Amino acid sequence: MRNPLRWILSSIRRKAIMGLLVVLLSAVFLIGLSIVSQARRFIMIEAERRAASVSLFVANNLAASTRSPEDVEAIVVLMDSICADPSVLYADVLNDDGSVLASGCSRPELGRRRSLPLSELYDLAAGGVRYHVYGDVLEVYRKLVFGEERNSLMLLLGFDISEVRTILSKITRLIAANALAVYVLGLLVLIVAVNRLTEPLENLTGGIKDVGSGRSPEPIAVHGYDEVASLTGAFNQMIHDLDRTREEVERYQKHLERMVAERTEALNRANAELVEINSTLKEANEKLMELDKLKSNFLGIATHELKTPLAVVEGYLESLKDGYAGELTDPQQGVIRETLLSCRRMGALISDMLDLTKIEAGRMPIERESQTVIKVVERVVGQMIPLIQKKKLTLDIEERNMNTVAFFDEDRIIQVLVNLISNAVKFTPEGGTITVSAEPLEEDDFSSIALAVKDTGIGISREDLSHIFDEFAQVGPPGKEEGTGLGLAICKRIVEAHGGRIWAESVLGKGSRFTFTIPITSN
């Protein structure tokens, strides 16, 4: 891939050389041009000065040797004498109208004389001079006024300046050759200078590329004291710092690796310990589950075995009460009554425990079918009415939603409702009200119906509410109504076996509300 820094550098170099070349070329050209024009000016001034002095000499001699313009012969003689100078090409004296009064040397091969029209010379003052160059000839016009009549004539001298031109072109060639040499030399110096300038930059570019690709470059040699040198110095310092940082990072990395290895080892050790603990716990759990099963079996068998003799005892007691063994005295009747009550309580406890062990052992089958809620409510109320009337309580059934068809095991849900209503009867003082209601609701991913039993009884404290569904939980003030403490635990298990849930809300002294849900749909 092309290195962008190198590319930028070579582009800078190209542009610098081109720019400096243009500047150098222009400078050499302008200097050469000004030297040539100065030399030309200088040489021409020299030529003009000479022409001026010759023309002044002629003018003075004319003024001295002639009295009038008619003295043509004397003028011709003077002209001829001037023509003896080989650089004088022609020497004429012209009248006002431009006609030739006298002519010195006559060299027809010289071609045209008098390159300026006389009209351009009218404004010349007496003695005034005008120079004019055409080809290799420098013409001098001088106005002459002499004689008492103040006659005016025009002196025209033509000087050969071909030699001057040769010298000028020689000078021009010489300067051009020198300029070329200066230009070439300048070009070489320029290339060397630009190279010298860009070489450290190129080294820097290489160094930056190395740093970029993660290598550690050697320090770059610093030449001189310019900006590039200080930049190179800064770069070297940066490499040095970078090396030190890299070493530190490597050291830290090694330290971290060591720490990670140590921690990994410690973790592995802890993990092994955990695995061991886990397997011990698993074993203990299995043993516990086995024991629990044994306990359930034992309870199941024991309670079942207790039921038969209890029924026999109860039967005998009933017979005794009914006078099977003769008339009983009042104290004997009292004893029998109390014993019967205890037997019944024990019987209730045994059936509750049997139910619980059956549920725990998964031996209580839930046989669900679709039927209306009102059907079970009516059956339960039918069973409970004598108890409710005995305690002078009012029972309200809110018929709204009672015709909802739900999917449940009738006997089990009757068991739940009986339990809740008998609790309500138990814990509601005379004159109180018990209300049974139904409310459909959307729960999780299925629709349910919530059945609630509300009373205006003694209520349950906030702390007790959290464990009334535990087995053998009997809360509230001691010595209240008798019970086994298993009813709500059994209700909870039955409701959960239907996929529903049960909860209680209560205000102490005001009453309680027990609600449970059963699914409406069969999924």
Chain residues that interact with ligand ADP, rule: CB under 6 A:
419, 423-424, 427, 455, 457-458, 460, 468, 473-476, 483-489, 512
Taking CB positions, which residue lies at the least distance from ligand ADP? 483
Token pair 């509750």 is found at 352
Q: What's the min distance (Å) between Cβ of 508 and ligand ADP?
A: 9
Q: What's the min distance (Å) between Cβ of 341 and ligand ADP?
A: 15
Considering the complex, state which of residue 158 and residue 457 has its C-beta at the smaller distance from ligand ADP.
457
Q: What's the min distance (Å) between Cβ of 398 and ligand ADP?
A: 18
* 3-class state of residue 52 by DSSP: helix
Name the amino acid, one letter, at 290: E
Give bridge partners of residue 433 from the DSSP assignment: 394
Q: What's the min distance (Å) between Cβ of 454 and ligand ADP?
A: 9
Considering the complex, state which of residue 86 and residue 478 has its C-beta at the smaller distance from ligand ADP.
478
Q: What's the min distance (Å) between Cβ of 455 and ligand ADP?
A: 5
Joined tokens for residue 245: 């940082």
Distance CA 228, CA 230 (A): 5
Considering the complex, state which of residue 423 and residue 448 has its C-beta at the smaller distance from ligand ADP.
423
- Compute φ and ψ for 163, nearest 5 degrees: -65, -40
Distance CA 247, CA 41 (A): 76
Q: What's the min distance (Å) between Cβ of 407 and ligand ADP?
A: 25
Q: What's the min distance (Å) between Cβ of 328 and ligand ADP?
A: 31
Joined tokens for residue 514: 């027990």
Query: Would you give the distance in Å from CA 337 to the centre of its chain?
Result: 87
* 3-class state of residue 207 by DSSP: helix
Nearest to 517 by CA among 469, 448, 453, 454: 448
Distance CA 239, CA 221 (A): 13
Considering the complex, state which of residue 300 and residue 487 has its C-beta at the smaller distance from ligand ADP.
487
Considering the complex, state which of residue 320 and residue 488 has its C-beta at the smaller distance from ligand ADP.
488
Considering the complex, state which of residue 220 and residue 468 has its C-beta at the smaller distance from ligand ADP.
468
DSSP string, 134-194: ETTEEEEEEEEEETTTTEEEEEEEEEE-HHHHHHHHHHHHHHHHHHHHHHHHHHHHHHHHH
Q: What's the min distance (Å) between Cβ of 430 and ligand ADP?
A: 15
Contacts of residue 81, Cβ cutoff 8 Å, sequence gap at least 6: none
Considering the complex, state which of residue 117 and residue 477 has its C-beta at the smaller distance from ligand ADP.
477
Distance CA 486, CA 353 (A): 8
Considering the complex, state which of residue 206 and residue 476 has its C-beta at the smaller distance from ligand ADP.
476
